[in-house]
Amino acid sequence: MTATGASEGVGARGAPVGNGPWWWARRRSAVLDVFLAAASAVECVVEGVGFAHEAQVPELLGMLLGLLAGPVLLVRRRWPVVVVLVSIAVMPAEMGGLLSVVGLYTLAASDVPRRITALLAGMTVTGTLVTTFLSLREDVATQQDFHPPMWFVPLMALAVGLVLTAPPVLWGLYIAARRRLVESLRERADGLERELSLLADRAEERAEWARNEERTRIAREMHDVVAHRVSLMVVHAAALQAVALKDPEKASKNAGLVGDMGRQALTELREMLGVLRTAEGAAGRGAPASGAPERLAAVASQAGAKATVQARVPAPSAGGGPASAPSGGSASVAVSGSGSGSAAGDADAEGPSLTELADLVGQSRAAGMVIELMVDGAAEEEPDAGRRYAARVERTVYRVVQEALTNVHKHAPGARARVRLAHRDGELAVQVENGPSEGGAADAGLPSGGNGLVGMRERVTALGGVFVSGPTEAGGFRVSAVLPAARPVIG
């Protein structure tokens, strides 16, 4: 609404114009204004006749003035200032009581600046005060037997002026304040709804990101545990084929190893798939399944550890089995950060540890690989005294060595490998390096998905480490990383 009181596209209650005829927001508002305009016209016509008698002018002129002034209420929602000015203009004729009251209310309830409202309200009070004072003084003068005090007429004129002006103005101000409050609350509600919608979208994005992370974690665990076991099975099967006719006793031994590893791989797969099916069933029933990835990691780690112990072979199998060192077979890891970041304490507690590295190396040695394990810097505790580092640290080191040896079997058959574990001041490092593949060694023919080095890098960097891999000058391959080591959490 402009300073003149013209409404700009909104009705009296702030509703958009267009639902009702012309400038009315609703048909009900139009009907109310028509009724008020008709009542005001009748009042002004009647009062115009009385004014014509007092002013000694034709009655038709007084009635015409009333017909012109009264219907102005039709535009009170569009131009409230005009209505109030018309009511002030006809005050000397002592007409337009309803016009003045409704006009002041509409003006106070509109968006007209408050200084204009105060000015017009003051003019209305002054006009009412003057006309009432003159009318009362004339009436008192005509009554010979009535002699009121001198303050009576001014006081009554002031009272009439306030009574006819203050209530509509105050009520209009109250309605305007309430309307602004409602609009403010509505805007806040709309803002909160938009914010909630954004939060819901972000929560969905975070949930999708978390699902992708857990899928990657599950795939990494299954790859590390199962791929290593299957790779050894293929290597032993190749050795079995090579010595089947020459050395039946050695062939029988290799066949037993293949069977044991196959059963271990099936057991691990069955346990992992069982966890996944349990999680899917819980999700279908509406039960929370957020712990499924951690349970799966725990199962994978525990199964791998059990399989490592069960697969201990005191004597290496015949040298007929192809050995291989990962073409990315060296890995050096040092891990930092507190073990408190673990997603599940059970998974950490059940994972493989550094004490099982010798068994892991022994499995590859049993498959025919020439491999050497070196430990630099003796641990402060005995091997069986428990973990020296946080469980996530030791599990990551174990997985890196496991994947590196798997790559040796896949990509560097017959190559020599060396695993080096270094306990440093505040650091833990591990390196797996292989030489070039022997020319006469047969390729194991194992498929590769290219996820081995990626998985090792993800594991190390997730704990704050730096992972480096690349070929050596001798034609082999080395992967290394060094990180600050975290101590185990006790209690």
CB 240 within 8 Å of CB 475: no
Query: Where does the pLDDT of residue 448 fall: very low under 50, low under 70, confident under 90, or very high at 90 and above?
Result: low
CB 433 within 8 Å of CB 472: yes
Radius of gyration of the chain (CA): 47
List pLDDT tens digits, range 141-190. 777 777 778 788 788 888 888 888 888 999 999 999 999 999 999 999 99
For residues 176, 177, 181, 187, the Cα torsion angle rounded to the nearest 10 degrees is 50
Query: Where does the pLDDT of residue 9 fall: very low under 50, low under 70, confident under 90, or very high at 90 and above?
Result: very low
| Token pair belonging to 311 | 């697969």
Best CA proximity match to 132, nearest among 86, 84, 164, 105 = 164
Query: What is the per-residue pLDDT for 5?
Result: 42
Of the listed ranges 64-68, 289-293, 459-463, the one predicted with least confidence? 289-293
Amino acid at 441: A
Residue 314 has pLDDT above 70, yes or no: no
Query: What is the per-residue pLDDT for 7?
Result: 45
Query: Where does the pLDDT of residue 200 fall: very low under 50, low under 70, confident under 90, or very high at 90 and above?
Result: very high
Please return the burial class of 484, using the count of CB atoms within 10 Å of its CB with bins 0-12, 13-18 and 19+.
middle
Query: Where does the pLDDT of residue 383 fall: very low under 50, low under 70, confident under 90, or very high at 90 and above?
Result: very low
* Better-predicted residue by pLDDT, 77 or 440: 77
How do beta strands 427-434 and 417-424 pair? antiparallel
Residue 77 has pLDDT above 80, yes or no: yes
Q: How many CA atoms lie within 13 Å of 33's alpha carbon, on the beta-carbon side?
A: 26
Query: Where does the pLDDT of residue 433 fall: very low under 50, low under 70, confident under 90, or very high at 90 and above?
Result: very high
Please return the burial class of 106, using the count of CB atoms within 10 Å of its CB with bins 0-12, 13-18 and 19+.
buried
Query: What is the per-residue pLDDT for 336?
Result: 42
Of the listed ranges 11-25, 47-61, 133-147, 315-329, the one predicted with least confidence? 315-329
CB-based contacts of 475: which residues, under 8 Å, 6+ apart? 435, 436
Residue 230 has pLDDT above 50, yes or no: yes
Query: What is the per-residue pLDDT for 331?
Result: 43
List pLDDT tens digits, range 110-155. 888 889 888 998 888 888 888 888 877 777 777 777 777 878 878 8
- Determine the average pLDDT of the residues in 483-487: 72
Query: What is the per-residue pLDDT for 59?
Result: 83
Query: What is the per-residue pLDDT for 190?
Result: 93
Provide the 3-class DSSP secondary structure of residue 421.
strand
Q: 0.75 exceeded by the pTM?
A: no
Best CA proximity match to 449, nearest among 402, 407, 401 = 407
Query: What is the per-residue pLDDT for 181?
Result: 93
| Token pair belonging to 207 | 């949930």
CB 6 within 8 Å of CB 78: yes
List pLDDT tens digits, range 13-37. 444 445 667 777 788 888 888 899 8
* Better-predicted residue by pLDDT, 120 or 230: 120
Each residue of 380-412: b (16+ CB within 10 Å) or e?
A: eeeeeeebbbbbbbbbbbbbbbbbbbbbbbbbb
Return d(Cα 141, Cα 15) in angstroms, integer.
52
What's the mean pLDDT when you consider all of the chain?
75
